Amino acid sequence: MSDMSWLDWPFFEERHRTLAREVDEWCGTALAGVDHHDADAACRKLVKAMGEAGWLRYAVAGGPGGGWGGALPEVDSRSVCILRETFARHEGLADFAFAMQGLGSGAISLMGSDALRERYLPRVARGQAIAAFALSEPEAGSDVAALACEARQDGGHYVLDGVKTWISNGGIADFYCVFARTGEAPGSRGISAFVVDADTPGFSVSERIDLIAPHPLGTLSFENCRIPATQRLGEPGQGFKLAMMTLDIFRASVAAAALGFAKRALDEGLARARSRRMFGQTLADLQLTQAALGDMATAIDASALLTYRAAWLRDVRKQRTTREAAMAKMTATESAQSVIDRALQMFGGAGVVSGMPVEKLYREIRALRIYEGATEVQKLIIARELLKA
């Protein structure tokens, strides 16, 4: 087991310490031998297993009477971060599957009608429905307010036309939270959000995309795709705000996933440094190795402090944490890349052999510096918040 002393930090309550120990124990047995050759099948299996074990209940809100299926009335950021950190430390695909159930259904938790919440959220929490978040487009990634996918109102229906790309779970999701232009105002104020079931006529997954660290990912096409107006989330024109609110909840958890990858890399690096003999001693006896380990451990703690500060502020102080979550996401993802790179270096040639844990981590971490706002975007968010004050 990795060093768990961080759980004594004042950000946590006893329930968080219990959760961390229980999920770590579960991961130790349930995640052994995930088959990476078929990412779709692996993710379906993981969602089912995590649903049955009860972990997915932390990815959705429970609602006032608990009827939406979540473990707690609202999504608890510290629980989500602890779960993502632990899943990532054991198995990247488990982290991905968990995170997408939350991100893919977050907009329903936040602004869905009671009927939509009751229809979708309990199945997400039980692992019986796979969720996806469809915001990005070929010409609207970082500049997401430029999105062009259109939803035209037609009586009691909306008709969607356009393309979404880079959509995680694209191809295996049962439903998609889709952000489309409804035209109430120019730019970001003319966007609304909808839940689209995967079997809706006019909807298709037009392309699957292969990644360096395989995850289900695809491009979606909407061609005259007709959905009832009751599938809309929130008021017309509120879609952009809803997308940003959803990302705000989960952005700190991307930092937590990076933290899990970095901690695993440090554990792997330490084991290698202690066991590898060279120049009549171990790699760990060499001062350059010790300097690397010192840097790695400090970067990890700094990332963890930023991550759990953001989560704590959101949970306990009920604050919007735009600046804090951006700082955590930027720092944790950038420093995890460097921690993993240094761990891989300690393995020499063995570090670049396919299937080695450090090699997998090296591929796994890269996308986290890009999605849910690239590092450059996080810097701009932080500066904007500072200048606003």
Only segment of 37-45, 248-256, 266-274, 367-375 that touches ligand FAD (CB under 6 A): 367-375
Residue 84's Cα: distance from chain center in Å? 8
CB 283 within 8 A of CB 273: yes
Q: Which of 167, 326, 328, 340 binds ligand FAD (CB under 6 A)?
A: 167
Q: Are 62 and 71 in contact (CB under 8 A)?
A: yes
Sign of CA dihedral 118, 124, 126, 130: positive
Rule CB under 6 A: say whether 92 interacts with ligand FAD. Answer: no
Neighbouring C-alpha atoms within 13 Å toward the C-beta of 158: 25
DSSP 110-127: HH--HHHHHHHHHHHHHT
Q: Which is nearer to ligand FAD, 19 or 254 (CB)?
A: 254
Residue nearest ligand FAD by beta-carbon distance: 141
Tell me which stretch binds ligand FAD (CB under 6 A): 45-53, 263-271, 313-321, 373-381. Answer: 373-381
User: Is residue 168 close enough to count as binding ligand FAD by CB under 6 A?
Assistant: yes
Binding track over 113-152 against ligand FAD, x by CB under 6 A:
--------------------xxxx----xx----------
CA-based nearest residue to 105, from 162, 148, 51: 51
Q: Which is nearer to ligand FAD, 168 or 289 (CB)?
A: 168
Is 372 catalytic? The answer is yes
Catalytic residue among 74, 118, 372, 376, which? 372
Task: Choose which of 55, 166, 176, 240 interacts with ligand FAD (CB under 6 A).
Answer: 166
Q: Which of 211, 284, 286, 297 binds ligand FAD (CB under 6 A)?
A: 211
How many other β-carbons are positioned within 10 Å of the β-carbon of residue 82? 27
Binding mask 214-233 vs ligand FAD (x if CB under 6 A, - otherwise)?
---x----------------
| Residues whose CB is less than 8 angstroms from the CB of residue 377 and which lie 6 or more positions away in sequence, other chains included | 142
Complex with ligand FAD: residue 31 or 140, whichever CB lies closer: 140
Least separation in angstroms between CB 104 and ligand FAD: 7
Strand partners, 204: 221
Position among 17, 374, 382, 385 found at the interface with ligand FAD (CB under 6 A)? 374
Q: For the CB of residue 144, give the shortest distance to ligand FAD in the complex, in Å.
A: 7
CB 364 within 8 A of CB 92: yes
Q: Are 112 and 231 in contact (CB under 8 A)?
A: no
Q: Which stretch binds ligand FAD (CB under 6 A): 22-30, 115-123, 316-324, 374-382?
A: 374-382
- Amino acid 314 reads R
How many residues at the interface with ligand FAD, by CB under 6 A? Answer: 19
* DSSP-assigned beta bridge partners for residue 227: 158
Q: Which of 22, 380, 382, 385 binds ligand FAD (CB under 6 A)?
A: 380
Scored b (16 or more CB within 10 A) or e, 4-22 reads eebbeeebbeeebeebbee
Pick the closest to residue 312 from 78, 102, 72 (CA basis): 78
Does position 3 interact with ligand FAD (CB under 6 A)? The reply is no
Q: Which residues are catalytic?
A: 372
List interacting residues with ligand FAD (CB under 6 A). Answer: 133-136, 141-142, 166-168, 211, 217, 367, 370-372, 374, 376-377, 380
